[in-house]
Structure 1
């Protein structure tokens, strides 16, 4: 049932009229949206800053020209449901990811979302923690479980292991019985070990080709020379999954020679993956780490800050 007052109501959001730095993000008052067929209206309690948000703000690489309201991650409360929606009711606490790349808009008090990619928020997580999980968690899940098919005893290297995707990937890999080699700065070594990493490589002093080998899976999210290096440390039959698909071109020749599979991943909004993440979180097998929080009014500061361990979360209401 829709809120009969919502059509004339307004809401706060952060929009941009031009591409550029964090300063282009400006507060606006806009009409509160109405959910359509198969959609829900979510009152956003928290969202997060993902690298792709920064890329879109600066270049519009995935979304084109502004104006637009950025943001993919959502944790909040269902405020209204559209026709045909049976999986959620008004008042449900839910979380999920808006469809990538064009279904964005969570830097706002309310957002319309497809109903089925959203699931109930685990009671163990508050909205701030839950907002840190969807895009980064789905990326890690789709890369490691659905693409690489990790399992008991697999040797898995995770590049950027202290970051948003990486810190969740470590936990997901351990939940599936893998042996995890984490690549992170020395300052984050204790953090990634606490997540379950079996080994830590300090990328500032040691190349992965010098420190490890005989791997089944590499999850790569940095680019540069790393895809070529990753191919060298994978077994024949191993899998290199990159969240930066264009970076794999440089490794194609070596991968073919060594019998290594290359897989470039763009994350998808997915109910199955969200249910699995929610289950792991409810059982305490994964916990999103929130490195910093900002109010919606301070969104530009959230975008300007240097990413630390875990995720940066924006508290909306």
Structure 2
């Protein structure tokens, strides 16, 4: 029977279980997973939910079956997809499920490894820039595409990306460049941003900032850089929970802050998810977009806990951890950080959940 990894809230073990092949609902695609990608949220959500969970959302593989309402995909198609956050049948399994509107085809020249780095990060950055911040996408007549070719008569639209080496930040830079936004100022840390702004003739503040980190002091940094009179800051986490002093932190009165949450493409912004998933497939096929650098964690599902621990401890740098399902062994039961059988249990009912994401709306409202 197919295997699935259930991450324990302690993030110290996963339980490898037998898991029947899912049966798709009307608009779902069941995918035989070849490679699963990981994201920082994958260790945060089990803590937040405080119960065992399969939090994987990045899927790359082949279509196994489709719901009766699916007409664009058929068994055998090479695809990548964004699994619905918090729903059953995540990507840490040999078979996973995704809605058809966040599934897209893969050309033969794009490997499953590369494809597994795309869905979460690329759709998050697209939603942040072109949905929530309402910057002009590539096909928008307002898009200053000509400025990327050096047309001096085209107006510039500067964008600062804090955390440009993260997967979300890197995809934001790639998509912004395709739309002709310029200059794109990528910040990997607390660098001399003001000096760069001066060199670009942009003064001391910017109108649009995307904070792809949204923790560890990033809010405090971008608050000093955003135009206090009408500037827009977009972040992937809420300041109330992740600013250094969340209860007292505030952006300047004239600044608009928007919190982008990619799960909304499954609930409130399905059309956006559909359009951008198809567009990502086209960009990959034409070579205009590449995946993020990645590192394969050996052992398939047995390597999941080690990968998530590394993410939690900040050991990865400018790469995505991915897992090849073919490397999963037949062992069932609890697996520790070293990929070996573990005695760590799932009975954590008495442990108080204090993780800040306990209040974050990863799931749709009732």
More strand by share: 1
Q: Distance in 2 between matches of 1:36 and 1:291?
A: 32
Is 1:95 the counterpart of 2:95 in the alignment? no
**Counterparts of 2:88 and 2:124, CA distance in 1:** 16
Structure 1: which 5+ residue stretches go unaligned? 1-9, 185-201
How do 1:237-276 residues align onto structure 2 when only pairs under 5 Å count?
237-246=230-239, 247=242, 253-256=250-253, 259-268=254-263, 269=265, 270-276=273-279
Q: What residue is the counterpart of 1:24 in the other structure?
A: 13
Question: What are the Cα deviations for residues 81-108 of structure 1, in whole angstroms up to 9, with x where unaligned?
Answer: 2222212111111111012343561100
1:1-317 equivalences under 5 Å are 10-16=1-7, 18-21=8-11, 23-57=12-46, 59=47, 61=48, 64-102=49-87, 105-150=90-135, 151-152=143-144, 153-178=156-181, 179-184=183-188, 203=190, 206=191, 208=193, 212=197, 213-220=204-211, 221-235=213-227, 236-246=229-239, 247=242, 253-256=250-253, 259-268=254-263, 269=265, 270-295=273-298, 296=300, 297-305=302-310, 306-317=315-326
Which shows bigger deviation, 37-46 or 266-275?
266-275
Answer whether contact 1:72 1:103 (CA < 8 A) is retained.
no
* Structure-1 separation of matches of 2:210 and 2:248: 14
Distance 1:77 1:238 in 2: 43
Distance 2:172 2:237 in 1: 16
1:27, CA displacement in angstroms? 1.9
Report the secondary structure of 2:63's partner residue: strand
1:70·1:107 contact (CA, 8 Å) conserved in 2?
yes
State the secondary structure of the residue aligned to 2:291: coil
* Closer/same/farther in 2, CA of residues 231 and 104 from structure 1, 3 Å limit: farther
- State TM-score, norm by structure 2: 0.71
Label 1:218 to 1:103 Cα distance change in 2 as closer, same or farther (>3 A): farther
Q: Is the 8 A contact 1:158 1:180 kept in 2?
A: yes
Superposition TM-score, scaled by structure 1 size: 0.81
Report if the CA contact (8 A) 2:209-2:234 is conserved: yes
What displacement does 1:238 show? 2.3
Relative to structure 1, the CA distance from residue 272 to residue 294 in structure 2 (aligned partners, 3 Å threshold; closer, same or farther) is: same
- Please give the alpha-carbon distance, in whole angstroms, between the structure 2 residues aligned to 1:141 and 1:37: 26
* Cα pair 1:42 1:79 within 8 Å, conserved: yes
Q: Is the 8 A contact 2:295 2:322 kept in 1?
A: yes
